[in-house]
Structure formats: structure tokens, C-alpha cells
Structure 1
Amino acid sequence: MEQKVIPLFSVHVLDNVALSAGHGNGIWDEYETKEVFTDKEHLYDVATWIDGHSMEPVYQDGEVAFIREGGFDYDGAVKAVAWNEQLYIKKVYLEDNGFRLASINKDYPDKFASAGDEPRIVGKIVGHFMPIKDI
């Protein structure tokens, strides 16, 4: 019986900082990482967990998101956004006085991040995957 060998790539995920695909998660100053594995190589600056269901069916709760650091570039891009000490994964739209943060899952209403709250786009989501469990 022929066995297929699949190369695995190590990813160090920020373990206590998750992108909220829901109502928001806290951001901490100290970051621990957890090593997980994927079967594809990705170009990214930081990896973190997706927590919640607002970006389903595309982005699943428990997946790892790859972020390439950068700011706003166009309406509707899926970004990691730091706002009011929370970190979100949302489709971002530039509005007159801030950003509209939209979910893919229509069960979740849009959020408005006022410019006065100083929301910051961390970067663009450039990939995502469910970690390989059995290695």
C-alpha cells in the first residue's frame, strides 16, 4: 500500500488574542503563541484565532487567520480591526466619520467604529485554515 507524504508547515498563532467574528475580544499586552500545522505555506505577518460565527460561512470559529499588516485600501476588504480594546475580523467600509464593520453572516448587524474611538486597521486577512489535528 502506497502512502502519500504531505509536507506540513508550522504556524505560530497568537494564543491569547483572537479575532472576534462576533461581539469582540480583548487585546492583551503579553502574547503567548501556540504552534499549529497546515498543509500549505502562506505569506503573512501575524496569525491569530477566529472566535465567533459572524463571518461564516467563509471564516469559521476555531480557524486561524493570517494577517498582512497594513491600513485601509478599499471598501469591503476583510480586515483585522482593533477598536475599543477589542479585535475584530470584519468587512470594512470607509464612512464619513469612521468605519462600518460588516459581517458575512446576516444574523449579525453591522457595527460603526467612530473616528473618535480611534479604530485601527491592523491588516488584511490574507488566508485562513483549520489547524491539522492529528500529526
Structure 2
Amino acid sequence: MEKEKHLKHLMELKSGSVKAFSEEIGLAYTTVRSILERGVFNAKVENIIKICKGLNIKPENLMGIDDTLVSDSITTLIQLTPSRQKRVLDYATEQLDEQNNKVLHINSNNIVSEEVAVYGYASAGTGETLIDGVEFTTQYNGHIPNHDFALQVNGDSMEPMFEDKEIIFVDKTKQINSGQIGIFVIDGEAYLKKVFINEKGIRLVSLNSKYPDLHFDSSHDIKVAGKVIL
């Protein structure tokens, strides 16, 4: 049942819990729980397809799911939309080219640029003050999704998903699930991090492994400013 254990882990990372994941993909919680208990090989094909679609993985890849698939980098990757998955892959390819001393040529003639109002800054490092009101406008290359506000990333602790000085888009909310990426205001300082919630408080995690986790308990003023649009 090791395969089902990993599958359950992916569901929890994606949605916070198996029940929440079941609701997102439109399958009864009892059905999903039965699949995890009895094994994926005993499940209906249409149910497996729904689960794979919800996790952004191919059904054929489900048969080969193992510890490698649920490594930190992959579990983060499955939470992304296909366009952002491609972006991470492109970044990795670029790094490999640089490592091998290859030259990367970019043709920017067809890039669409739009103006976006940036609300302030979010630190991908040790925290930064989030200032009310529009701070500046800038040109953004690519499609601008529906969002409540935009921020500029300061720091490299969330690379490769988010680069230093990148513009990110945020849905304003006060609720967020464990394992999601959001904007958190701790004692007046704004952070862009992946969050894990426990009974003692929260743990803010960087995607760049050179940065340590940040722990905050009830003695701190903890606020959720929004969820990052991936």
C-alpha cells in the first residue's frame, strides 16, 4: 500500500486534506478513502482519471508513483498550473545550460507587455513592510490574471518558482490551507512563503533550500493577506 500512502500525501499537499481534495474534484470522500484503503488497482478508471486530473499528473505516471515523485520539489510542482510547471522546467533547463557553459538566446520581439499597478513588496527572505496603497506601476510581460492586488518579490528564497523582483498576483483572503503559498504579515512584516499549520502556530517554508524555516506562535501578530495565484 506504499503507492496509496504517497497518493494520500499528494492529496493533502494539494488541498490540505483528503476530504477537501475529494470535494475539489467532485468525488465522494468515501470513494476516495476506499481507493486509498483498497488500492488504486481496484478503483474504477474514471475515478482514477479524476484524481490524476486533480493532482495535475498523468494516469500512467500514477502507476510509477514513489518517493522520488513526492520529494519537496515535485510536491511543490504538482500544485502549479501547467504554464507554471513549464516555467519551472524552463528555469531548470536554463540553469543546466549555464552549468554546461551554453549560451541562451532569447527573442523578445513577440512578448506582450501590459501595465500593472503594484501594491507593495513581499519579502522572500526575512520580512518586509507591506505598505498600503499603490506603490508604483510597471510593465508586466505576459497575461495578467484576475487578482485583488499585485506585489513585487524581494529576495531569492522562493526560487525557482518566484525570482527576485518578480511581480506576483494575489487573491485577498484571510483563510489558507496548509501547504499553500501565500502572503503572510507577521508583526507588520510581509512574507511570501509556503505555510504549514500546526497546533503551536505556523511554519513558513522557503523553496530555496539554503533558507531555514520560520516559526511563529500565538505570541506574534499573524495575519493572512492573501493566496498567491499560481
After superposition, what is the alpha-carbon deviation per residue over 1:36-95, rounded to whole angstroms, capped at 9, x for unaligned? 233213111000100001101111001001010113332110000000121000001111
Distance in structure 2 (CA, Å) of the matches to 1:37 and 1:27: 21
Alignment of 1:63-74 (within 5 A): 63-74=166-177
Partner of 2:116: 11
Identity of aligned residues (%): 28
Q: 1:103 to 1:88 in 2, by over 3 A?
A: same
**Pairwise mapping of residues 10-29 of structure 1 onto structure 2 (< 5 A)?**
10-14=115-119, 17-29=120-132
Q: Structure 2-normalised TM-score? A: 0.49
Match of 1:122 in 2: 225
Which position in structure 1 is the counterpart of 2:197?
94
Aligned partner of 2:138 in structure 1 is 35
- Aligned-partner Cα distance in 1 for 2:112–2:210: 38
Corresponding letter in the other structure for 1:49: Q
The count of residues paired between Structure 1 and Structure 2 equals 122
Q: Counterpart of 1:45 in structure 2: which amino acid?
A: D
Looking at structure 2, the residues matched to 26 and 7 of structure 1 have their Cα atoms a distance apart, in angstroms, of: 31
> What is the deviation of 1:116?
2.2
CA distance in 2, matches of 1:28, 1:41: 22
- Greater radius of gyration (CA): 2
Quick one: which amino acid aligns to residue 105 of structure 1? N
| Letter paired with 1:99 | I
- Please give the residue correspondences for 1:73-112 in structure 2 after superposition, counting only pairs within 5 Å: 73-112=176-215
Q: Which amino acid in structure 1 is aligned with residue 115 of structure 2?
A: S
The structure that is helix-richer by fraction is 2
The answer on 1:53 being equivalent to 2:126 is: no
Task: Give the 3-state SS of the residue equivalent to 1:55 in structure 2.
Answer: coil
Gaps of 5+ in 1: 128-135
**What amino acid is the match of 1:103?**
S
User: Residues 36 and 109 (structure 1 numbering): CA distance in 2 closer, same or farther, change over 3 Å?
Assistant: same
Distance 1:38 1:45 in 2: 19
Change (3 A) 1:59 1:36: same
Instruction: Answer yes or no: is the 8 Å Cα contact 1:83–1:117 preserved in 2.
Output: yes
Q: Distance in 2 between matches of 1:41 and 1:21?
A: 21
Structure 1 pair 102–5 and aligned structure 2 pair: CA distance change class (3 A)? closer
Greater alpha carbon shift after TM alignment, 28-37 vs 104-113: 28-37
**1:113 matched to 2:216:** yes
